[in-house]
Structure 1
Amino acid sequence: MEILTKIESIEPAIRQAGEIMLKYLDQDKQIEHKEAVNLLTRADVECEQLLVDFLKSNFPDDGILAEEGHQYPSQSGFTWVIDPVDGTTSYAHGFPQFAVSVGLVNDNNESIGGVVYNPYYKEIFQAAKGHGASLNSKPIRVSNVPSLSVALLGTGFPYNRRERMPLLMRRLATILHNVHDVRRTGSAALDICYVACGRTDGYFEEGLKPWDTAAALLILEEAGGKASKFDGAKADIFFPELCVSNSTIHAELINLLKDAHLREII
């Protein structure tokens, strides 16, 4: 089956997962603490089960890697990477920056398809390798902002931020001094998609997991964006650092991230 067809076929299930999220948004979310600042809600559990059941029924040979524990090896060369509620903390507080994220990767762990859906705003980002990226079925492209000084960036903080505070604050201060401004949504998938559609011009974060980025990275690349590790090396969904941009400002942004890291060492 063509990748685009596979991606399009999962949209109804993703929209169903979004309805589950909205159903519990103003109800008791049955919040649990996986770690001090890492939350789990009933929506995480129910959305993941819905998506896993759909994928196992429709693509039984495909692998699955999901945030809340479902893992099945691939027999087909394809693996679905699922974050049932990306931005759980935002969701738990009723802050409407959360999303269902489902990415498709090949045996080389390269993203080849992805869907990111914010049910609150009814925004569905989609891409399949070689077919471009879209928002609600309309093509999207990254911004043409030419330099960091006029760029709006997104960022996030890792769950172990208390241990990493000096570097995180130094990095943020370095960036803030050189850009127009910085925003934080709490959802890595949405942050990357916002770069893809030109709402922001770049994004950087550490402490990421594959389910945070597998879908959105392909959406970004198909929209003309660039992604890498903080040192400029090729992005990897299994590596915790990620820097993305509209491509034009990428070298500038990487240099600032390197500068902040060097200051910590010195």
Structure 2
Amino acid sequence: MRSALLNVMVQAATKAGRSLAKDFGEVENLQVSVKGPADFVSNADKRAEEIVFNELQKARPTYSFLGEEGTEVKGSDGQHRWIVDPLDGTTNFLHGIPMFACAIALERNNEIVASVIYNPAMEELFTAEKGGGAWLNDRKRLRVANRKHLADAVVVTGINSRGRALDLLQLKQLAHVVPAVSGIRRTGSASTDLAWLAAGRFDGYWEAGLAPWDVAPGLLMLREAGGTMTDYAGTTGSVWNGQVIAGNETIQSQLLKIVKAVN
């Protein structure tokens, strides 16, 4: 049974998702502006954030709002903040790859307490509330996979192409992780990575340089599905430090050991 707050979040995500699905069907006609190397933003992205912002503000006008597309509002509430990525997987979207999501998290007193990750192209709605579990399409309870050996694991990551020192470090990490696992995947959508990890489709995930809206929705999803997340130092994962190593407790610790040793 969803809470009233989660219903608000689902309504906002699905309304934005309908807009994204329509634009996705006409992807070749989208007007695109370049925001930075390998980091595109489309009219669809901006439109989706406007929809989410308007829906959430209408329902909870005193809450703060932090959006990937630059929308930031300081609400009078002081305890609650929406953290939103209206289109996580923009590059996929613009290339006609149906791996993208509208992702919304609710932060209360610096803790994520509810989240929604919605992929309209696949019609998959992932939801989670603190203490209420994580769910797919309100029917399937999510649990992380139970694999115990990294050699049997499929691990997902994000590989950027900006040529930064962080990207080069990740390539070094990749060279050490590849021989230790069953397979590597790269979806292009961090919130999808965490949702699929919570659903047991992936066994582990690592990435750095992530923004709060990349991490916040999936963080709660993973924890409610029995998973664990830390940063590269092995301390409790945060949406603010940009580092994620995640999985079930066993796989996460094995993956952490490899990544931590690379510098």
Aligning the two structures, in what range does the TM-score lie when normalised by the shorter sequence?
over 0.9
* Aligned AA (1:22): A
- CA shift, 1:177, in A, is 1.0
1:255 aligns with 257
Q: Counterpart of 2:261 in 1: which secondary structure?
A: helix
Query: What is the distance in 2 between the residues matched to 1:170 and 1:160?
Result: 15
5+ residue gaps, structure 2, are none
- CA shift, 1:10, in A, is 2.3
2:183 aligns with 181
TM-score normalized with structure 2 length: 0.94
* Aligned AA (1:227): M
- CA shift, 1:163, in A, is 4.3
Aligned in 2, Cα 1:208/1:159: closer, same or farther, shift over 3 Å? farther
1:81 aligns with 83
2:92 aligns with 90
Query: What is the distance in 2 between the residues matched to 1:123 and 1:166?
Result: 33
5+ residue gaps, structure 1, are 262-266
TM-score normalized with structure 1 length: 0.93
1:69 aligns with 70
Residues 25-68 of structure 1: CA deviation (Å, up to 9, x unaligned) = 13212111100111001111100001101111110111100011
Q: Is the 8 A contact 1:158 1:206 kept in 2?
A: no
Query: What is the distance in 2 between the residues matched to 1:260 and 1:102?
Result: 33
2:54 aligns with 53
1:40 aligns with 41
Q: Is the 8 A contact 2:159 2:167 kept in 1?
A: no
- CA shift, 1:246, in A, is 1.7
Between stretches 3-12 and 214-223, larger displacement belongs to 3-12
Query: What is the distance in 2 between the residues matched to 1:10 and 1:33?
Result: 29
Q: Is the 8 A contact 2:8 2:59 kept in 1?
A: no
Between stretches 10-19 and 213-222, larger displacement belongs to 10-19
- CA shift, 1:165, in A, is 4.4
* Aligned AA (2:227): G
2:16 aligns with 17
Between stretches 68-77 and 29-38, larger displacement belongs to 68-77
Q: Is the 8 A contact 1:140 1:197 kept in 2?
A: yes
1:198 paired with 2:187, answer no
Query: What is the distance in 2 between the residues matched to 1:243 and 1:223?
Result: 16
1:122 aligns with 123
Query: What is the distance in 1 between the residues matched to 2:205 and 2:149?
Result: 14
Query: What is the distance in 1 between the residues matched to 2:117 and 2:182?
Result: 27
Task: Using the aligned pairs only, state the percent identity.
Answer: 34
Between stretches 169-178 and 151-160, larger displacement belongs to 151-160
- CA shift, 1:162, in A, is 4.7
Q: Counterpart of 1:157 in 2: which secondary structure?
A: coil
Q: CA RMSD in A?
A: 1.5
Query: What is the distance in 2 between the residues matched to 1:232 and 1:25?
Result: 39
* Aligned AA (1:210): P
1:149 aligns with 151
- CA shift, 1:86, in A, is 0.2
* Aligned AA (1:153): V
Aligned in 2, Cα 1:248/1:41: closer, same or farther, shift over 3 Å? same
2:5 aligns with 6
Number of paired residues?
259
- CA shift, 1:159, in A, is 5.8
- CA shift, 1:168, in A, is 2.0
Query: What is the distance in 2 between the residues matched to 1:258 and 1:10?
Result: 36
Query: What is the distance in 2 between the residues matched to 1:222 and 1:161?
Result: 35
